[in-house]
Amino acid sequence: MIRTIVGLIIVLALSVVVISSVPDYSLPSGLQGVGQDYTERGVNDTGSVNLVTAVVVAYRGLDTLGEVVVLFSASTAVVLVLTLVPMGANPTPSSSIVAFTSGVLPGSIVLFGIYIITHGHLSPGGGFPGGAVVASAFLLVMLGSNKIPGKSKLLASIESLAGVTFGLLGFWGMMMFGQFLNNMVLPAGSPGKLFSAGIIPLISLVIGAKVASELSGVFSSYRKAGGDE
Amino acid sequence: MTLLAAASIATGVMMLVAAVAALVVKKLISAIIIVGFVSLSASILFLLMDAPDVAITEASIGAAISTVIFLWGKGKIGGEE
């Protein structure tokens, strides 16, 4: 109890210090610098209506590749550590509500995730959020079943294939225009159409497949290491 | 104050209250569920602030996936606080 109160006092004191150190902070009016440049030229440059995806995949595509590598190494480490943990017993059966829901919902969740991935350049979303949504459907399936998931070569192959394809798409731009991940190797098309925006939809697909398979692999190894809940 | 600002502030206050509740609540499983609720409120806050991209990611990763992983972790270590 005393520890809680002392912690609360320390946090309050720190927040007073932080808040009082920024008294005259004001939001800049309008966009400036690189943000303004992206919003003005983004649609013409990339053909993507969703400017967030244009920045994430086209302008800063190399950073996204780095992010994918970080996720890959993190999931590899989790799987590696969890294979050292002895296999748990079969989890206790879930309640009938969870069991029923996990039989009904995952199909539509996967469909929604695929929609988010394929329409990343048109509506909010893209590869990463869509892949996470697809993975959460697999998570729901695992929650509803009381069996331990078996070994799956498919997940690992999808993951590796997606990673290699991302790199190859980047080198395609390097071969044609001398620039890694150049978006203009495919025609930009008319903005707002499903088949437009150069290689952005392809990269979204690749990222979605990679994120979904990686997260699903992490879940299944957690499940194998024995969750009883 | 506009309706949007009022809703954002209400969501933020709700998040703060829930975050403190997660610290002081006795049962570990309640704390995990409350942390999931904080994530869900954060996702609503992102949506109110015109960032639907971030809101989708936060809702699926923060609210769904990490809550379940915490639950499985609790099942693994067993026991209460």
**pLDDT tens digit string along B39-67?**
999 999 999 888 888 888 888 888 888 88
How far apart (Å, rounded) are the C-alpha atoms in residues B18 and A122?
Answer: 35
Q: What's the structural domain count of chain A?
A: 1
How far apart (Å, rounded) are the C-alpha atoms in residues B28 and B80?
Answer: 6
Q: In chain B, which residues have their Cβ closer than 8 Å to the Cβ of A116? A: 56
Query: Which of A136, A146, A221 has the most B C-beta neighbours within 10 Å, making it the best mutation to test the interface with B?
Result: A136
| Residue A135, min C-alpha distance to chain B (Å) | 9
- Using an 8 Å Cβ cutoff, are A50 and A123 in contact? yes
Instruction: Provide the terminal-to-terminal Cα distance of chain A, rounded to the nearest Å.
Output: 29
Residue A93 confidence (pLDDT): 73
| Residue B51, min C-alpha distance to chain A (Å) | 8
Read off the pLDDT band of B38 (50, 70, 90): very high
Q: Choose the closest CB to A132 out of B55, B65, B75.
A: B65
B residues 22-41 closer than 8 Å to A (CB): 23-24
Q: Choose the closest CB to B53 out of A125, A135, A143.
A: A125
The answer to whether position A115 is within a domain reads yes
In which domain, by residue range, is A50 found?
A: 45-76+95-224
The answer to whether position A17 is within a domain reads no
Q: Name residues of chain A where pLDDT drops below 70.
A: 23, 25, 86-91, 150, 226-229
The answer to whether position A34 is within a domain reads no
SS3 content of chain A, % helix, strand, coil (to 5): 70, 0, 30
The answer to whether position A125 is within a domain reads yes
- Using an 8 Å Cβ cutoff, are B59 and A129 in contact? no
Torsion of CA B30, B36, B38, B40, to 10 degrees: -140
Nearest residue to A191 (alpha-carbon basis) of A18, A48, A70, A59: A48
Residue A89 confidence (pLDDT): 65
Nearest residue to A49 (alpha-carbon basis) of A196, A187, A173: A196
B72 touching A, CB under 8 A?
yes
How far apart (Å, rounded) are the C-alpha atoms in residues A176 and A173?
Answer: 5
The answer to whether position A192 is within a domain reads yes
Amino acid (1-letter code) at residue A18: V
Residue A174 confidence (pLDDT): 78
